[in-house]
Structure 1
Amino acid sequence: MLIRRETPADIDAIRTVTNLAFKDGPEAELIDWLREDEGWIPEYSLVADGVIGHVVCTRGYIGDVPALGLGPISVHPDHQRSGVGKALVHSVLGAAEARGERAVILLGSPAYYSRFGFRLAEEFGITPPVPEWRPHFQARLFAEVPAGPFRYAEPFNRL
């Protein structure tokens, strides 16, 4: 499976796979908003094999310390449970670590994301923007970070 950075030619395919994966939820529009935001980091928008999947990380902060917010991650329904999502997560985490990022934060299933080294963010003193997210709010640390609230790139606030 080939994982690579998105190109401008991939944008429509990313919208399609995201809409299919999230049943036309707001995630595809969120990705468009993120592309226009100062938190967009092109090196962290990755696609799998002809855009059967997509993952993105954008700039967030723990207090004033830069970190990454992972998501959305999308896999075409015909390719789910075939390792595409796993490959995308491994790739974006490898890119983040190689580029010297300190932490990646996400909202997702602890049972699934623990296999990638994610732990509940509250174990590190990192708090979610919405308190009800605590049971699913996770962090993967590559370096020390301070305790404190995490904030996603601004477009997440529009959801």
Structure 2
Amino acid sequence: MFTLAPETKEDLWEVEALYDLCFAPGRTALSSYRLRDGVEPVRGLCLVARNQDGSIAGAIRYWPVLVGRHRTLLLGPVAVHPTHQGEGLGALLIHSSLDEAAAQGWTRALLVGDYPYYSRFGFEHLDGVEMPPPTNPDRILGRALILDGWHGIRGQVTRAD
């Protein structure tokens, strides 16, 4: 059993340790991190999942970005501690946070990831949306949070300062 709660500033180092454990050492060199650097995450959508002993078993974060001139959510990273992988915790974090994003009025979400995994959450390949290099265009995925949330949205993904 897991408890979901908004990430707090006190969770920062425990969440960062989870990301370090789950991702390659060079994760912060990825192009998506340049979009996050110095930008506050969307606090109400960044969630932690705590297990019964109170430790963080999973986490998800969102960042505001611009696609062209349109405010968009950048999902990521999402991570689940290796001892809890395969238990549906990643899906719980993704579904819960996307539902909350829609409730808060966000119209679209973007991520860089594996289509076979994220397609089950409604993410699709995006044409005409360009992440900073060296991002593989086949990994740029989006999900509309309202009807036609991606309709007509094209352009470079840039920081939302």
TM range (shorter): 0.7 to 0.9
- 1:82-138 per-residue CA deviation (whole Å, 9 max, x = no partner) reads 21111111111111111111110001111010110001011xx43333375221110
Q: For 1:131 and 1:10, locate their aligned partners in 2 and report how far apart those are by CA, in whole Å.
A: 31
Q: Which runs of 5+ in 2 are unaligned?
A: none
* 1:52-95 Cα shifts (integer Å, max 9, x gaps): 11110100112111110001111111111221111111111111
Partner in structure 1 of residue 82 of structure 2: 77
Q: Tell whether the 8 Å contact from 1:44 to 1:57 is kept in structure 2 after alignment.
A: yes
User: Which of 3-12 and 106-115 deviates more?
Assistant: 3-12
Tell me, in whole angstroms, the C-alpha distance in 2 between the residues paired with 1:59 and 1:20: 25
Using a 3 Å threshold, how does the CA distance of structure 1 residues 130 and 86 change in structure 2: closer, same or farther?
same
Q: Aligned partners of 2:121, 2:157: CA distance in 1, in Å?
A: 22
Residue 155 of structure 2 aligns with an amino acid whose one-letter code is P
Q: Distance in 2 between matches of 1:16 and 1:89?
A: 20
* Paired residues of 2:61 and 2:76 also in contact (CA < 8 A): yes
**What TM-score do the two structures reach when normalised by structure 1?**
0.81
Counterpart pick for 1:135 among 119, 123, 138? 138
CA RMSD of aligned residues (A): 2.6
Are residue 64 (structure 1) and residue 78 (structure 2) matched?
A: no
In the alignment of these two chains, the number of paired residues is 150
Query: What residue ranges of structure 1 are gaps of 5+ in the alignment?
Result: none
TM-score (norm 2): 0.81
Q: Distance in 2 between matches of 1:142 and 1:150?
A: 20
Q: What secondary structure is seen at the aligned counterpart in 2 of 1:81?
A: coil
Following TM superposition, the consecutive aligned residue runs of length 4 or more in structure 1 with deviations greater than 4 angstroms are 33-36
| Greater share of helix | 1
